Amino acid sequence: MTVARQLIVNADDFGQSPGVNRGIIEAYERGIVTSASLMVRWPNAPEAAAYSRVRPDLSLGLHLDLGEWAFCNETWIPLYEVAALDDIVSVADEVSRQLTAFRRLVGKYPTHIDSHQHVHLREPVRSVAIGTARKLAVPLRHCSPEVNYCGTFYGQTDEGLSLPGRISADGLIRIIAALPSGLTELSCHPSVANDLDTMYGSERIEELKVLSDPQVRAAVADMGIELRSFIDPGTPT
């Protein structure tokens, strides 16, 4: 028997800036976003958390924020660093602080965990993140077999070269059409403004346009793909 295809559309970086907050809210209210991940360290995190408290159907995860790096002159340079990524004690302390901050802001535990620039995929961050996710009994991006992960809706290469076709309506529809059976999380980064000092800026505005495009939602329905949430992956949104 063929297993149905189910899709969680998760917006990363909630709380990082006013533009990101407004973009994620718009993509949730008018588009196909069903979930978001909160960056608790940023000044606009309380605003994002407040929105989630009045919209409990929006599943909210913890976007672990241990630093950000940009590719420049053939090498990666830090824009900021929160913890020493090779020090398991430093990482564990920071993850614990961010989880505590999440509970204080949101009033409950996260529905899922992921990380900024996927830093949790390398040790020792990986072990700390896996341990935290297991204690909470929530999915960890890339590390939970029950949820496939798709990160190809992204308008740049790893080195920051532009890939505009990836973040067009046709590009997203092609990505969704190729999804495997079962439950998949697709990450995105919508924003209404380029208000961050980051490699990924104007692309966020284009992502918002695509995620809110009626033809994308229609294509999802036509393909028989059910939009889900981390709150209850078995319940359509």
Full-model pTM? 0.94
CA distance 137 to 124: 20
Residue 236 has pLDDT above 50, yes or no: no
Please report, for the chain, the start and end positions of each structural domain, with discontinuous segments joined by +.
5-227
Q: How far apart are CA 142 and CA 235, in angstroms?
A: 22
Distance CA 64, CA 54 (A): 23
Hey, how many other C-beta atoms are within 10 angstroms of the C-beta on 138? 18
- The closest alpha carbon to 11, from 198, 223, 192, belongs to 192
Q: What are phi and psi of 29, to 5 degrees?
A: -80, -30
**Per-residue pLDDT tens over the stretch 70-115:** 887 778 888 899 999 999 999 999 999 999 999 999 999 999 999 9
* pLDDT attached to residue 235: 43
Q: What is the pLDDT of residue 34?
A: 97
Strand-pair category, 113-115 with 226-227: unpaired
User: pLDDT digits over 146-181, tens only?
Assistant: 999 999 999 998 877 888 999 999 999 999 999 999
Q: What is the 3-state secondary structure (H, E, C) of 69-130?
A: EEEECCEEEEEEECCCCCCHHHHHHHHHHHHHHHHHHHCCCCCCEEEHHHHHHCCCHHHHHH
Enter the tokens of residue 163: 């890939």
Residue 88 is encoded by which pair of tokens?
């398991």
Distance CA 232, CA 59 (A): 9
**Percent of the chain predicted with pLDDT > 70:** 97
Please write the tens of the pLDDT for every residue from 57-70: 999 999 999 999 88
- Confidence tier at 2 by pLDDT (50, 70, 90): low
* Domain 5-227 = CATH 3.20.20.370: yes
